[in-house]
A and B are shown apart, each in its own frame.
Chain A
Amino acid sequence: MPIIQIENLSKTYEYYRKPAGFWNSVKSLFHREKLFAEAVKSINFSIEEGELVGFLGPNGAGKTTTLKILSGIIYPTSGSAKVLGYTPWKRQARFQKQFALVMGQKNQLWWDLPAMESFILNKEIYEVPEAMFKETLEELTELLDIKNILDVQVRKLSLGQRMKCELVAALLHSPRVLFLDEPTIGLDVVSQNNVREFIKKYNRFKKTTIILTSHYMEDVEALCERVIIINHGLIVYDGKLQKLLDQYIDHKILEVTFTENVDAKTLARFGKLKERAAKRAVIEVRKDKAKDIAVQLLTKLPVDDILINEVGVDEVIRKIFAGTARL
């Protein structure tokens, strides 16, 4: 029995067109055009307990809308969704006590009080028994290394510290499902890494089902075995990340530096020329031919250094978003 199940889920927003400019503003005082935006178009997927899934998609793709529906914030226009067997938008307390939502851009802690106060209040809201609360708090604050900042007002903490506290606050009631919306956004590299490590460990030990949305490919690569890519309200890919890479990366990148100038025409014989500077070139070649072409370059041209690089995940994703990848 999947822990999350979505069937033919759709969400259409109504909005008004607000054209810019002086005369249009005057006109809009009298009449506005009502438009519809199909944010999510009849999507389907299911997620088993313990999975760590990444939701990917450009802004406006529908991934945030899907997340909001799954957490009960908004109502769908049609279709069904079940999380832990509950319909999210009914917002039943029994359901809410079993999941948590952490938003990277929106802070849920009490801004003017120490983080500890938010934790204590959450303990009461989620009815966490005292002993379990102490244990979980100890565990989480140890893992995230924030024991010494619990008595500091949240507004005085750094972004990284704040996010760690947000995570603790969300996990005190040991939720079975965790929704993470852009958890590493705006964080420095060290904090991003810490948060990633934590999420990975947490998922592994607690078997918490985690859905993560992110714009950072490092998040996706580090954490998600499975990705669901949403674009224009439709799911364009749902499956293992590695399979996606294997399937759609059919080339490698050769980065070559030369001891003398080589003209573009010569270089183009070896593969697709992506970049060219005085003594440097970047050539895209087919994956299976990469080694052979590298050898050819070394023997036929005055090569100083050569690198064989993998294509980045974001390149693939970008192509999918742009609709140029063949799916």
Chain B
Amino acid sequence: MSYMYLQLTKTWLQRHLSYRARVVIWAVTDIAHIIIFPFIWLSVYGQQQIIQGYSRADIVTYYIIIGFIGLTATAHISNVIRLDIMEGALNGFLTKPLPYNIFRIFHELSYKIITAAIALVLFLIVRLSFPEYLIMPATLTTWLLFFLSLIGAFAISYTFELIIGFGAFWFGETSALNQFINLLQMVFSGTIAPLIFFPSIIQQVANLLPFKYLIYFPVEIYLNHLNAGEIIAGFTYQLIWMGALALFVFALWRRGLKSYEGVGI
């Protein structure tokens, strides 16, 4: 059985690498959407050294790490799933002994292997070019906790992509749902700016949503802004959200298949 997973990964890697341009474009996209913010904030800082606990180096590192997370722990699979359902390619998968969801998880993970490699290279380049703007965690524990939080972030990101993709079982075009979730993510994950920069009402809503655990929580760990209690609480919430979303998506999948018509055969 394990040979199958290995072969599956190999096949996916080959396939991703045959589309180099596409991979590069996604990498550019993942970085581009936050690239202007460090400059905006540096301009805002002006002569100031600190705003709400963030030093100048902190705020630039903040966005660099967001870029890093974008490349290593963000999933993009929803459109592929939508097309499988809409065009009936799902049919071929339903008749094979390889579960569709396993197939797609390997699709995403093998892609992440490639983008993580890109992320590491870029990280090193930035570190060597602008060391004063890229803070590095002081202890191994911080690194470990950061990577742990990335696993949780990926799980939540992937689950959201499934939710959007499976929406195709009921709505032909899921782009509205997609945009909405992306929007919520932009605001409440801390992608636009650290959550602490926002009015408190926004922060309170962010605390109730899972998006914080995609970006803000990992970055705060990286920047060493959290104490032990906050870290434990954060991981607990991350796990709770992972569980709740997983249950929801599982239910969606089952209901979706029941109403699936297999159009396109």
Indicate if A touches B (C-beta under 8 A): yes
Interface residues of A (CB under 8 A from B): 13, 64, 67-68, 71-75, 91, 93, 96-97, 99-101, 103, 105-106, 108, 110, 112-113, 117, 120-121, 124-127, 153, 181
Return the CB mask of B179-220 against A: 1 if under 8 Å, else 0: 000000000000000000000000000000000000000000
With the chains together, A324 CA to B44 CA distance in Å? 82
Across the two chains, which residue of chain A brings its CB closest to B4? A124
B4 and A106 within 8 A (CB):
no
B91 and A68 within 8 A (CB):
yes
> Which residues on A sit within 8 Å (CB–CB) of B1?
127
Q: How far is the CB of B231 from chain A (nearest CB, A)?
A: 41
A13 and B261 within 8 A (CB):
yes
Interface residues of B (CB under 8 A from A): 1, 3-4, 7-8, 11, 14-15, 18-19, 88-89, 91-92, 94-98, 257-258, 260-262, 264-265
Q: How far is the CB of B119 from chain A (nearest CB, A)?
A: 24
> Which residues on B sit within 8 Å (CB–CB) of A112?
15, 18-19
Q: Given that A96-B97, A103-B91 are contacting pairs, would A64 and B265 also be in contact in the complex, using a CB cutoff of 8 Å?
A: yes
B92 and A91 within 8 A (CB):
no
> Which residues on A sit within 8 Å (CB–CB) of B265?
64, 67-68, 73, 103, 105-106, 181
Which 6 A-B residue pairings sit nearest by Cβ, starting from the closest? A124-B4, A93-B97, A108-B92, A96-B97, A124-B7, A73-B262
> Which residues on B sit within 8 Å (CB–CB) of A97?
97
B97 and A73 within 8 A (CB):
no
Across the two chains, which residue of chain B brings its CB closest to A105? B265
- B96 touches which of A74, A96, A110, A113 (Cβ 8 Å): A96
B18 and A75 within 8 A (CB):
no
- B91 touches which of A13, A73, A91, A99 (Cβ 8 Å): A73
Across the two chains, which residue of chain A brings its CB closest to B11? A121
Task: Tell me the total A-B contact number using a CB cutoff of 8 A.
Answer: 75
A113 and B15 within 8 A (CB):
yes
With the chains together, A216 CA to B1 CA distance in Å? 41
B11 and A73 within 8 A (CB):
no
A91 and B8 within 8 A (CB):
no
A101 and B8 within 8 A (CB):
no
A113 and B262 within 8 A (CB):
no
Q: Given that A73-B262, A93-B97 are contacting pairs, would A124 and B3 also be in contact in the complex, using a CB cutoff of 8 Å?
A: yes
With the chains together, A4 CA to B33 CA distance in Å? 56
Q: How far is the CB of B88 from chain A (nearest CB, A)?
A: 6
5 contacts between A and B (CB under 8 A): A91-B94, A103-B91, A105-B264, A113-B18, A124-B7
With the chains together, A112 CA to B11 CA distance in Å? 11
B11 and A106 within 8 A (CB):
no
Q: Given that A103-B265, A112-B15 are contacting pairs, would A125 and B95 also be in contact in the complex, using a CB cutoff of 8 Å?
A: no
A121 and B92 within 8 A (CB):
no
With the chains together, A210 CA to B88 CA distance in Å? 22
With the chains together, A75 CA to B254 CA distance in Å? 12
Across the two chains, which residue of chain A brings its CB closest to B264? A106
With the chains together, A2 CA to B265 CA distance in Å? 26
With the chains together, A127 CA to B98 CA distance in Å? 11
Q: Given that A93-B97, A99-B95, A113-B15 are contacting pairs, would A121 and B261 also be in contact in the complex, using a CB cutoff of 8 Å?
A: no
Q: Given that A74-B260, A103-B265, A108-B92 are contacting pairs, would A125 and B98 also be in contact in the complex, using a CB cutoff of 8 Å?
A: yes
With the chains together, A13 CA to B260 CA distance in Å? 10
A106 and B18 within 8 A (CB):
no
Q: How far is the CB of A10 from chain B (nearest CB, A)?
A: 15
A101 and B95 within 8 A (CB):
yes
Across the two chains, which residue of chain A brings its CB closest to B92? A108
